Amino acid sequence: MNATALPAVIRMKDLTKVFATDEVETHALSNVSLDIARGEYVSIGGPSGCGKSTLLSILGLLDSPTGGAYELNNRPVSELPASERARVRNREIGFIFQSFNLIGDLTVFENVELPLTYRGMRPADRRQRVTDALERVGMAHRAKHLPSQLSGGQQQRVAVARAVAGEPVILLADEPTGNLDSKSGEAVMELLHELHRAGATICMVTHDPRYARHAQRNIHLFDGRIVDEPEEERQWADADLPS
């Protein structure tokens, strides 16, 4: 077994996800195989209903696959019990959501601190990590503010700080610019780009090809499968046609 020598952070092999509702089986994902190497910046795109959110939920250990194998950081995770999955998720994965997902009555500092509190990290270490993370995203001067006192772009920067504060092995971003105007969206993209240059592994779901261009590798899903991408299909996907 020399698997540990390989630099893959994510290894997915023949992953499937089937939803069963009223005698109808929906194959949200069919035999998806995907490796993401340490330090890579990957985008996942495709039309609505193509399975990209399902794939991201499985990547982020928010959901489990129906079949196939998933190794995160050289460790099989598809069959972990819920409590263990939650622990791995908290330590290994940093999430960035479209809607920022900050808690309105906690300050910027407390929002960033929250995932660290769950690990039982000592207060002094926590403070240091939070301060460092806020400095990385240029929001240290806003540590005591509440989310409602910030613009959308600034809130997303705080959410990025929260995601990186725990030093996860991978950052998962779900349409991180979806609620932002194009200028703030570009600023958040620039921030992800900087984090990538500094060594972060990033996997971003976006249906916007302008933002996908920031990634090194673009993966396209169509009807739950990874597809190659000839030019005409790209235009198809961009139009976001109902499937």
Partner 1 sequence: MLISLRDLERTYPQGVARSYVLRRINVDIKEGEFVSIMGPSGAGKSTLLHILGMHDAAWSGEYFFQDQPVHKMSAKQRSELHKRHIGFVFQSYHLLDNLTVYENLEIPLSYRDVGRKERQSIVAETLDRFQIVAKKDLYPSQLSGGQQQLVGVARAVIAHPQILLADEPTGNLHSEQGKEIMELFRKLNDAGTTIVQVTHSDVNAAYGSRIIHLRDGWVVDD
Site residues (vs partner 1, CB under 8 A): 57, 60, 62, 82, 86, 89, 93, 95, 97, 99, 101-105, 107, 110, 114, 117-118, 144, 146, 148
99/182 with CB nearer partner 1: 99
Nearest distance, CB of residue 8 and partner 1, angstroms = 23
Torsion, Cα of 205, 210, 214, 220 (10° steps): 40
Query: For residue 16, with 0-12 CB atoms within 10 Å meaning exposed, 13-18 middle and 19 or more buried, which class applies?
Result: middle
13/85 with CB nearer partner 1: 85
104/230 with CB nearer partner 1: 104
Q: How far is CA 1 from CA 8, 12, 40, 74, 213, in A?
A: 14, 17, 24, 11, 36
Per DSSP, the three-state class of 220 is: strand
Nearest distance, CB of residue 100 and partner 1, angstroms = 10
Nearest one of 64, 87, 80, 74 to 38, comparing CA atoms: 74
7/123 with CB nearer partner 1: 123
The most distant pair of C-alpha atoms in the chain lies apart, rounded to whole Å, by: 55
Nearest distance, CB of residue 139 and partner 1, angstroms = 18
40/92 with CB nearer partner 1: 92
CA dihedral over 165, 179, 53, 219, signed as positive or negative: negative
Nearest distance, CB of residue 101 and partner 1, angstroms = 5
Nearest distance, CB of residue 54 and partner 1, angstroms = 11
CA dihedral over 28, 34, 39, 42, signed as positive or negative: negative
Q: Which amino acid is at 171?
A: L
Per DSSP, the three-state class of 242 is: coil
44/237 with CB nearer partner 1: 44
How far is residue 186's CA from residue 188's CA, in Å, rounded to a whole number?
A: 5
Nearest distance, CB of residue 125 and partner 1, angstroms = 16
Contacts of 99 (CB under 8 A, 6+ apart): 178, 179
29/237 with CB nearer partner 1: 29
Nearest distance, CB of residue 162 and partner 1, angstroms = 9
